[in-house]
């Protein structure tokens, strides 16, 4: 989207807002609307504060306040001396079992991955316990960086017993598609979540600083008959992924 078109869209959204809403709130809501409609996609660069202020006939203080709120919510990425980019936060519901690709597609983004390794190997102690298998049972272990519109979102390590997936080459972009093709699509899962700091390797793959907050999940996936088909450990960038819970009394 060109700067002129963006300014026009934001201006119309601000004019449509109630007059008693503070200007910075109207600007924030207008930019949010552009993000929701995909007029502003993840990674798109916003015009500078001065350009926005002059084009919209508002003060730079008002612009700065609106952008600060958007940054706090993770919808913008701003660094001193750098451009302001649209963030790529992804919402993940914990009430349904979906794949990473399904989550990303639901947000109107393009899922992808950068393969780090795919191999048939003996299971680690953690994989043995999680999958309920013996140490002499081979698994397909896959390590990859998951991306949304090319931006790194998470580092994922999946292990699947070879009786469900005989070769890692069966997996292209989606593990669940490969399992589904063999009649072994997971039907339910148990997932644990905890926080951790990014290791040096995580930082390299996720383009963040070492020690940056990550949200780590450990998930065991089951078939309808109770067999454990996958154990997956995923480390998500804390500033781009939101987990959403629905609670009922």
In angstroms, the CA 109 to CA 42 distance is: 8
Write the burial class of residue 41 (CB in 10 Å: 0-12 exposed, 13-18 middle, 19+ buried).
middle
Provide the whole-model pTM. Answer: 0.63
Q: What percent of the chain has pLDDT over 70?
A: 85
The answer for 38, left when phi > 0, alpha when psi is -120 to 50, beta otherwise, is: left
Q: Show Cβ contacts of residue 41 under 8 Å, excluding neighbours closer than 6 positions.
A: 86, 109, 149
Of 7-16, 50-59, 173-182, least confident by mean pLDDT is 7-16
Tell me how far CA of residue 152 lies from CA of 83, 84, 235, in angstroms: 19, 18, 11
pLDDT for 133 equals 95
62-106 pLDDT, tens per residue? 988 888 888 776 677 766 556 777 766 555 555 667 777 777 776
Binned at pLDDT 50, 70 and 90, residue 229 comes out as very high
pLDDT the model gives residue 126: 94
Condensed to tens digits (0 to 9), the pLDDT of residues 163-198 reads 999 999 999 888 999 999 999 999 999 989 898 899
Asked whether residue 213 carries a pLDDT value surpassing 70, the answer given is yes
Best CA proximity match to 43, nearest among 153, 122, 157, 124? 153
Q: Which of 134, 148, 122, 130 is nearest to 221 (CA)?
A: 130
Instruction: Identify the pLDDT of residue 40.
Output: 77
Backbone angles phi, psi at 37, to 5 degrees: -80, 0
Q: What is the 3-state secondary structure (H, E, C) of 169-185?
A: HHCCCCHHHHHHHCCCC
Q: What pLDDT is recorded for position 246? A: 65
The most confident of the ranges 2-6, 161-165, 245-249 is 161-165
Lowest mean pLDDT across 16-25, 115-124, 146-155: 16-25
Query: What does residue 36 show for φ and ψ, rounded to 5 degrees?
Result: -60, -35
């Amino acid at each position: 989207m060109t700067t002129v078109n963006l300014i026009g869209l934001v201006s119309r959204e601000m004019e449509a807002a109630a007059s008693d809403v503070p200007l910075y709130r109207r600007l924030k809501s207008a930019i949010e609307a552009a993000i929701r409609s995909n007029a502003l996609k993840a990674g798109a660069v916003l015009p500078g504060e001065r350009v926005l202020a002059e084009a919209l006939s508002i003060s730079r203080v008002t612009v700065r306040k609106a952008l600060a709120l958007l940054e706090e919510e993770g919808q913008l990425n701003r660094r001193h001396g750098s451009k302001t980019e649209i963030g790529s936060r992804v919402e993940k519901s914990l009430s349904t079992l979906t794949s990473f690709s399904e989550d990303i597609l639901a947000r109107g983004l393009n899922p992808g991955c950068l393969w780090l390794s795919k191999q048939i190997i003996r299971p680690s102690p953690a994989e043995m316990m999680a999958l309920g298998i013996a140490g002499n049972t081979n698994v397909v272990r896959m390590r990859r960086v998951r991306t949304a519109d090319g931006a790194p979102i998470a580092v994922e390590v999946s292990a699947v017993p070879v009786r469900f997936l005989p070769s890692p080459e069966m997996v292209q972009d989606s593990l669940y598609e490969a399992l589904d093709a063999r009649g072994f699509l997971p039907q339910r899962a148990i997932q644990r979540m905890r926080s951790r700091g990014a290791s040096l390797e995580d930082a390299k793959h996720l383009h963040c600083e070492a020690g940056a907050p990550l949200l780590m999940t450990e998930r065991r996936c089951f078939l309808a008959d109770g067999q454990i088909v996958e154990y997956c450990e995923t480390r998500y960038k804390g500033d781009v992924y939101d987990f959403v819970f629905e609670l009922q009394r």
